[in-house]
């Protein structure tokens, strides 16, 4: 089957390239460390040339930080509320050395908070393709370094919020009095759940009012030094769920679907059980699927082939 599209998921720390057949199946995947903050000598052009080397000259669609102010070319955000099918009509074209054209997906901006995303909008498209009904009234959770809580109403992205849970965990473990010089994560489920419960019990004060307990519980001998990482992970993930409820990003009537990587999603599922929040999980290849859907709507690939 012939190659119909190349998709690029190009973030701060990674570059993933997908080669699709004419039915939208990914025939080949490539991964590089060449995020926009880790470019090789030769910069964007060299990273791109490596990513698509020996692949046919078909349309290229890219999402992520490559379209940010520090990216290859800045792409204006689409403001929420917006239907995601508007993304296909708002692509920016970038002609690159050698003559290829890259079509860049815009990020989304929630002007109410304000908040921004680049790359996750394509995951949202992919997730909605897998389960369209959640778009009527639901919430997508994309956990990670910068977790995103995306509120969906009547088929549109109503708004969203970023929580820096993963980055904060890394900062506390690497650089703070709580975690620096401690042994690595012991994968201690009891310590993790203790952290989740502490976050829940912090109620409206929030888990920052208790984060120092990671140290005092260790001094008390309640937490082994190797379990501090899991306790902090539980405290911060628990706090993210606590604040999502407090901020109204989800409520008892809201379906929540999570999109992301396996081990991290497992942690969120365990924490959600403590809060009695039901979370469905979506397949993890939502970016690749979202890129294909946007390309189809933008007529970068032929509608008949995409059927």
Which H or E run includes 151? strand 147-153
Cα-based torsion angle of the residue sequence 275, 279, 281, 282 in order, rounded to the nearest 10 degrees? -130
In the set 163, 227, 265, 291, which binds its own copies (CB under 8 A)?
163
Quick one: 33 or 170, whose CB is closer to its own copies? Answer: 170
Task: Decide: is 181 part of the binding site for its own copies (CB under 8 A).
Answer: no
In the set 41, 220, 262, 303, which binds its own copies (CB under 8 A)?
220
Task: Decide: is 21 part of the binding site for its own copies (CB under 8 A).
Answer: no
Give the angle 144-149-152 at the CA atoms, nearest 5°. Answer: 140
Question: Rounded to an integer, what distance in angstroms lies between the CA atom of residue 77 and that of residue 84?
Answer: 12
Could you give phi then psi for residue 161, rounded to 5 degrees? -140, 145
Q: Number of residues in contact with its own copies, rule: CB under 8 A?
A: 41
Task: Decide: is 114 part of the binding site for its own copies (CB under 8 A).
Answer: yes
Task: Decide: is 171 part of the binding site for its own copies (CB under 8 A).
Answer: yes
Beta carbon of residue 278, minimum distance to its own copies (angstroms, whole number): 21
Binders of its own copies in range 224-253 (CB under 8 A) = 239, 243, 246-247
Task: Decide: is 144 part of the binding site for its own copies (CB under 8 A).
Answer: no
Closest CA to 186 of 143, 220, 213, 218: 218
Peptide bond into 81 cis (omega under 30): yes
Binders of its own copies in range 257-296 (CB under 8 A) = none
- SS3 state at 266: helix
Q: What residues make contact with its own copies under the rule CB under 8 A?
A: 69, 109, 113-116, 146, 161-164, 167-168, 171-172, 174-178, 202-213, 215-217, 219-220, 239, 243, 246-247
């Amino acid at each position: 089957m012939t190659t119909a599209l190349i998709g690029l998921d190009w973030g701060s720390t990674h570059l993933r390239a997908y080669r699709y057949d004419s039915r939208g199946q990914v025939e080949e995947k490539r991964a590089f460390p060449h995020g926009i903050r880790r470019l090789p000598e030769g910069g964007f052009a060299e990273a791109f040339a490596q990513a698509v080397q020996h692949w046919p000259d078909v349309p290229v669609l890219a999402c992520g930080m490559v379209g940010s102010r520090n990216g290859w070319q800045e792409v204006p955000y689409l403001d929420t509320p917006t239907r995601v099918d508007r993304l296909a009509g708002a692509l920016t074209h970038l002609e690159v050395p050698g003559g290829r054209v890259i079509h860049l997906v815009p990020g989304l901006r929630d002007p109410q908070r304000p908040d921004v995303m680049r790359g996750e909008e394509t995951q949202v498209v992919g997730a909605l393709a897998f389960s369209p009904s959640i778009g009527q009234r639901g919430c997508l959770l994309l956990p990670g370094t910068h977790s995103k809580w995306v509120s969906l109403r009547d088929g549109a992205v109503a708004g969203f919020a970023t929580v820096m849970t993963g980055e904060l965990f890394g900062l506390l473990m690497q650089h703070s009095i709580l975690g620096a010089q401690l042994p690595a994560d012991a994968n201690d489920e009891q310590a993790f759940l203790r952290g989740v419960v502490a976050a829940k019990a912090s109620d409206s004060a929030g888990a920052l009012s208790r984060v120092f307990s990671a140290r005092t519980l260790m001094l008390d001998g309640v937490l082994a030094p190797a379990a501090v990482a899991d306790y902090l992970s539980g405290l911060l993930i628990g706090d993210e769920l606590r604040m999502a409820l407090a901020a109204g990003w989800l409520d008892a009537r809201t379906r929540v679907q999570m999109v992301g990587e396996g081990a991290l999603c497992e942690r969120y599922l365990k924490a959600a059980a403590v809060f009695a929040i039901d979370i469905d999980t979506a397949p993890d290849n939502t970016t690749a699927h979202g890129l294909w859907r946007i390309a189809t709507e933008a007529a970068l690939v032929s509608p008949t082939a995409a059927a």
